[in-house]
Amino acid sequence: MYVTSLADTIGTAGDVHGPGWRSIRLLLAGAGLGYSFHDSTIYAGTELLIQYAHHSESVFCVEGQGVVVDLGSGRSHDVSPGTMYVLDGHDRHLLRAVTDLRIICVFTPALVGAESHDENGAYPAAG
């Protein structure tokens, strides 16, 4: 059994920040489960151009308002509490936080720790 909390993770190497975002990584690759679990905040007014070339991500909104734009199709989707979206095809997308946007994210393969988006909006390949 693995048990942790936000309080246990805040201020550790699992508390990762970037321009306009913070990701509290509660479960990482070291746990051996094949996925990582993150409690992330995208700050109001932030726009992130992202394309996870090496990962799939499932996102569930728990607080705030935002918009995710699928740049392949041009379709935009409102994001609010209860909304889930899944980036299962290495989808190039834009995430815009209208208010502070708190999202719960699951990545496969699991992130190992302090990864941050590269110039293409991706995390490096696992391993």
Residue-level pLDDT at 69: 98
Asked if residue 126 belongs to a domain, the reply is no
88: left (phi over 0), alpha (psi -120 to 50) or beta: alpha
Asked if residue 4 belongs to a domain, the reply is no
Which domain range does residue 53 map to?
Answer: 15-108
Asked if residue 114 belongs to a domain, the reply is no
Chain segment 117-126, per-residue pLDDT in tens: 667 666 667 6
CATH code of the domain covering residue 92: 2.60.120.10
Chain segment 49-94, per-residue pLDDT in tens: 988 888 899 999 999 999 999 999 999 999 999 999 999 888 999 9
Asked if residue 123 belongs to a domain, the reply is no
Is the model more confident about 90 or about 20? 20
pTM of the entire structure? 0.90
Asked if residue 86 belongs to a domain, the reply is yes
Counted domains in the chain: 1
Asked if residue 98 belongs to a domain, the reply is yes
Spell out a b/e string for 38-73, using b for 16 or more CB atoms within 10 Å of the CB, else e: bbbbbeeebebebbbeebbbebbbeebbbbbbbeee
Asked if residue 57 belongs to a domain, the reply is yes
Q: CB-hemisphere CA count at 13 Å for 113? A: 5
Asked if residue 23 belongs to a domain, the reply is yes
